Every structure is written in C-alpha cells, then in structure tokens.
Structure 1
Amino acid sequence: METLGSLNIDVTTLFVEDLQRVRAFYQDVFGLSAVYVDAVSAVFNFGNMSINLLDISEAYGLIQPGTVANRESGSRFQFTIRVDDVDAVCDELKPHGVALLNGPVDRAWGVRTAAFMDPAGHVWEIAQQLT
C-alpha cells in the first residue's frame, strides 16, 4: 500500500462567501476557464492540481463536525506559483486590480516574492528563484 505522503495532492477546495466574484477573479487574474461549474462550485485546473471554489454554505456538510472559518479569521496557508520574473508578473497583475499584500521583496533564502489575496481571502504568492 502506498503511503499518503507519496501521492500528489489532486484538488484543493477553497470555501468562499461570494462564488461568482471569486470565480470571476480566477478567470481574470489567472486567465483560466472553469473546467466544471454548478450552482455552488467552480473548478479550475492549475497544471498539476485543481482548485475547487465551493460556496461556504456547502462546506459544513463536507467537514462536520469540524468548523468552517470565515474570511475575517485570517489566513492559515498560502499558495505559491514559481515564476521567472516576479516584477513582470506584478506589472501584469495591476491592470486586473490586484493589490499586493507585500513585495516584490528579496527574501534571505534566495527567493524574490510578492503576495496578493483573492476576494475570499486566500493568499497567493509568486516566487522567483534568485540563486
């Protein structure tokens, strides 16, 4: 039997309060079309994995008896996309109305990064290897 740690993460489900707004953001900023859409979800393929945007009203049924945090609770993770030129990507994000949380900044571990948030509060980082 394979150990779970040796398998790829296939889909990450993000709980969102305003599905239509977040879906439009992903289409506009990432230049993607949803591969699946229904009244409560939209799925986007990102190269090696998929992101499922799920209306928060449906989240409780998936994780109960666990609790669902709201956007104001703060971020507990971030997605990172490796790019060749962080500054150029930041320039490309501006016309889409994307406000950076931070960066571009050179990190002590040899990576130049910038971070932004989707409308549901999920943090995305773009990262360029410097060394």
Structure 2
Amino acid sequence: MRCSYIRLLVEDYASSFRFYRDVMRFPVLWGAESTRYAEFDVGSPTRLALNEREAMAEALGTTGRDAALPGQDRVSVIFEVDDVDASAAELVTAGAPQVSPPQDRPVWGIRAAHFRDPDGYLLEVNRPLET
C-alpha cells in the first residue's frame, strides 16, 4: 500500500483550482477550472488532488439526510493497492469502519473502497481499472 494522493474536498472548486495553479504554481496534471476534480504535481510521488465536496458526497451517498456526516468530509487520504477487494477485506477484518465496499468507478478510472480512521477521516484504497 502506498500513499498516492492527498485529496482536498473543497467547497469552491474553481477558486481552489486557481489558488493551487496560480498562487502555489503547482503544475496541473489532470483537470481544469471547469471540472470537479484536478490533480497537481507537488514535487513528490504523492500528488495533491482537489475534488468538489459535493461530488464526493454524492459518490459516497452522504448527501441529504447524512449531510452532516462528518460535516461533509474535508480531506481524504488515498492509498493505491494491488488488490482493492483483498485490501478492503483485510481492513474490515482489522476493524476499519467501511464507508463503501469495493466498486468500480468508471468515471474516476478506478476500483475503490472507502473507510474511516478513528477520528473520522476518510480513507480510500484504490487501483486503476483495467483498460
């Protein structure tokens, strides 16, 4: 398992995109000001990603009645693994609270599962989908 992304779940995506592109001067690897997701090169193997908060809440089903869970996430730590299903099963067995089971997310280009750490931070294990 390796930490591949730190994903900030932002309210004002366009402003955040401009900040990291224009003020911080991080090269854009993927995405644009008009998308709901972008990745930046921060000079290390781990990338910084921006995701519109509402888009992640929709994907996890935490909109509506669960809108306050937990204050709609602000950050997610992403770990790339060789086998999402096996890693997810190991995490469940070890006691990690699962938010969403392994599933293909074709729009994202990954298979992913989501968990929470003891403080409620959102964790994702993923692997690129086979093409």
**TM-score normalized by the length of structure 1:** 0.45
Structure with the greater alpha carbon radius of gyration: 1
